[in-house]
Amino acid sequence: MEKFTTHTGRAVPLRRSNVDTDQIIPAHWLKKVTRTGFEDGLFEAWRKDDGFVLNQPQYAGASILVAGPEFGTGSSREHAVWALENYGFRAVISSRFADIFRGNSLKNGLLTVILPQETVERIWALVEADPTAEITVDLEAREVRAEGVTASFDLDENVRWRLLNGLDDISITLQQESEIAAFESERPAFKPRTQPVG
Amino acid sequence: MGRTLAEKVWDDHVVRRAEGEPDLLFIDLHLLHEVTSPQAFDGLRLAGRKVRRTDLTIATEDHNTPTLDIDKPIADPVSRVQLETLRANCAEFGVRLHSLGDVEQGVVHVVGPQLGLTQPGTTVVCGDSHTSTHGAFGALAFGIGTSQVEHVLATQTLPLAPFRTMAITVEGELAEGVTAKDLILAVIAKIGTGGGQGYVLEYRGSAIRSLSMEARMTICNMSIEAGARAGMIAPDETTYAYLEGRDHAPKGGDWDDAVAYWNTLATDEDAVFDAEVFIDAAELTPFVTWGTNPGQGAPLGSNVPDPASYEDPQERIAAENALRYMGLTAGTPLREVQVDAVFVGSCTNGRIEDLRAAAAVVEGRKVADGVRMLVVPGSVRVALQAIEEGLDKVFTAAGAEWRHAGCSMCLGMNPDQLAPGERCASTSNRNFEGRQGKGGRTHLVSPQVAAATAVLGHLASPSDLTDAQQLVEA
């Protein structure tokens, strides 16, 4: 996983709630068997509209998405995270994220930051008035900073440590091999197994 | 203090608990399909890792599979590559796979239960958000992303953040024609698409206990549409009767041991939930969605809501966007909304009871002119059972299309899609923009409402049908 320590960039205001993962990356893109090449599928349907915020030239090259509540609902597709990253986003700010999307993002080094809706509104106002405004998402200080905005955010300490160091979850878990083996040896015989029944 | 069902299952699967770390949980059953697994297998290969427990892993093909011409090569080359990738990965890593054409093939959440693999008190994961379906058996079951799929393949465990518990208590009796689907749509409309966030929901109360296993699966299936981590129902005699004798259900002494364990799982009387929601079953009526998220639903007998009636500005904007996308006007009676298509199927409502319910409504009637009705069984086993009962003939005689098993028009990854602007009454689980095809418009409904809608051409329940729609036998 790519490390995340601190990131400064311009932001895109996405004034929509309930942005589901079908909007972030439509299902027909899910036929790809790679983790890359999803950037053109990001918000594909909405990007057909010239007025959509990602099509506005003043937001080209922005790397932080600031969205309405309930971002990432629906399908568990991790492709949604890959599409945001492939497009160039490093962080998403919202007042509420769907659980699976948030878990996926933090396993890929895409920082999802939860801020109160009123702070989201202030950032929206700021970057709509001045699209060149820079936002800093500082994971070390657990803080988002922009002109007139200093907001701290919570993140589970263990998740933060993994992100700051770019650690691979599987390698960490495999260090617990003896505990996994011990648990396996105690499992009841009635638990299901998938081998074909003869 | 007593513990809830979810807490008991969780506690029984903790491999490691340490200060400052998430609990590491053992996974009893890992279900795979073609869409969310290829990058996970690639990850294993890159790191030189194996699948730790092939005996707890099973794969099927469902999302991409065509429902016509399944004996011919898959026309879409990208879909074909994805299915071939799953086949190659399963062969290389030794994972049991049920491919297109196999009698056990079908939607992953229909296949697990019907094989008897989904059992009370187990942990079940799959790279698919509707894994919550399996909670109907008292399993702790949840959807995961591809990174977690790789993690489970490599370690058979997952580090998981703690959860909160919410009781959804439904007392009373459902009225005639009111189904599990209406109940869960009403729950989602009540608590919202984010209302379950961070929670494992437990559905309880007399109305839940009287439901069949298939109806319970419909309810747990849509827990994710309320944003929940999982949804569960305590196992009982209904659960055991469904399981006993299935291929992978415990046998002999193991069965007795299993039942003894399963009987300990129900939430203790003195357990405390973090949140509680009460619903009076008798007040529920057929429920349909009018918007573009599953929380935007209303009783079939009501009107398309006015966005101005929402106090919350985010909800108001969402309702305005939804009506624009759906091509609906506030105040229109939902029963006057005309449809172009009807889809019966999916992991929500693609099991045999769903097909029976829909067939009973269309039997001796005709699908309305200009309406296309697609019936897609959830698995090959479901299809074979339906054929044995003659349901396929009922559907085709009414003018519906009878298809092969798969996810089909629930998400339109195969050729079964809506055209732009087409409106569909669908027994599936998501009414998101473009979900059933670019520009398509989805109303989520029960199988009974879907079938009545197909006959009348507008959103309707079976009670709207009169003898006039009965075909006169020649």
For residue B61, give both structure tokens. 């093909």
CB of B351 closer than 8 Å to CB of B438: no
Contacting B residues, span 14-43, partner chain A, CB-CB under 8 Å: 15-16, 20-22, 24, 26, 28-29, 35-36, 38-39, 42-43
Strand partners of residue B24: B16, B159
Q: Is the pLDDT of residue B473 over 70?
A: no
DSSP secondary structure letters along B32-60: E-TTTSHHHHHHHHHHT---S-GGGEEEE
Strand B441-444 relative to strand B423-426, pairing: parallel
Task: State pLDDT tens for residues B13-56.
Answer: 999 999 999 999 999 999 999 999 999 999 999 999 999 999 99
CA A87 to chain centre: 12
Task: Return the closest-CA partner of residue B78 out of A175, A126, A73, A37.
Answer: A37
Q: Give me the amino acid identity at B383.
A: A
Q: Does B259 touch chain A (CB under 8 A)?
A: no
CB of A7 closer than 8 Å to CB of A90: yes
User: What are the chain A neighbours of B439 within 8 Å (beta carbons)?
Assistant: 45
DSSP secondary structure letters along B247-261: TTS--HHHHHHHHHH
Give ipTM to 2 decimals: 0.96
Is the overall model pTM greater than 0.90, yes or no?
A: yes
Name the E strands within B224-370. Answer: 230-232, 275-280, 287-289, 297-299, 341-344
CB of A102 closer than 8 Å to CB of A153: no
Whether B119 and A192 lie within 8 Å, measured CB to CB: yes
Q: At what angle do helices A157-165 and A99-107 cross, to 10 degrees?
A: 30
Residue with token string 């339906």: B386
From the list A35, A170, A192, the residue facing B151 with the nearest CB is A170
C-alpha A21/C-alpha A38 separation (Å) is 13
The mean predicted confidence, pLDDT, of chain A is: 96
Q: Give me the amino acid identity at B465.
A: L
For residue B108, give both structure tokens. 């992953």
C-alpha A147/C-alpha B319 separation (Å) is 32
Interface test with B, best of A2, A14, A17, A18 (most B CBs within 10 A): A18
Q: What are phi and psi of B2, to 5 degrees?
A: -70, 165
Task: State pLDDT tens for residues B84-109.
Answer: 999 999 999 999 999 999 999 999 99
- Where residue A177 falls among pLDDT bands split at 50, 70, 90? very high
What pLDDT sits at residue B466? 85
Task: State pLDDT tens for residues A97-152.
Answer: 999 999 999 999 999 999 999 999 999 999 999 999 999 999 999 999 999 999 99
C-alpha B128/C-alpha A75 separation (Å) is 7
Interface test with A, best of B10, B12, B13, B15 (most A CBs within 10 A): B15
Task: State pLDDT tens for residues B341-395.
Answer: 999 999 999 999 999 999 999 999 999 999 999 999 999 999 999 999 999 999 9
Contacting B residues, span 116-155, partner chain A, CB-CB under 8 Å: 116-119, 122, 127-129, 143-148, 150-151, 154-155
Whether A22 and B435 lie within 8 Å, measured CB to CB: yes
Q: At what angle do helices B352-362 and B391-398 cross, to 10 degrees?
A: 40
CB of A105 closer than 8 Å to CB of A85: no
CA B233 to chain centre: 15
C-alpha A104/C-alpha A114 separation (Å) is 15
B220 is in an annotated binding site: no
Q: How much is the average pLDDT of B281-295? A: 98
CA-based nearest distance A55→chain B, Å: 19
Task: State pLDDT tens for residues B185-228.
Answer: 999 999 999 999 999 999 999 999 999 999 999 999 999 999 99
Q: Is the pLDDT of residue B474 over 50?
A: no
- A25 secondary structure, DSSP code: S
**B140 φψ region: left (φ > 0), alpha (ψ -120 to 50), beta (else):** beta
Whether B156 and A180 lie within 8 Å, measured CB to CB: yes
Contacting B residues, span 167-206, partner chain A, CB-CB under 8 Å: 193-194, 197-198
A63-102 exposure pattern, b = at least 16 Cβ within 10 A, e = fewer: bbbbbbbbbbbbbbbbbbbbbbbbbebbbbbbbbbbbbbb
Which H or E run contains A12?
A: strand A6-14
**B186 φψ region: left (φ > 0), alpha (ψ -120 to 50), beta (else):** alpha
Class of residue B400 by CB neighbours under 10 A (exposed 0-12, middle 13-18, buried 19+): buried
CB of B289 closer than 8 Å to CB of B182: no
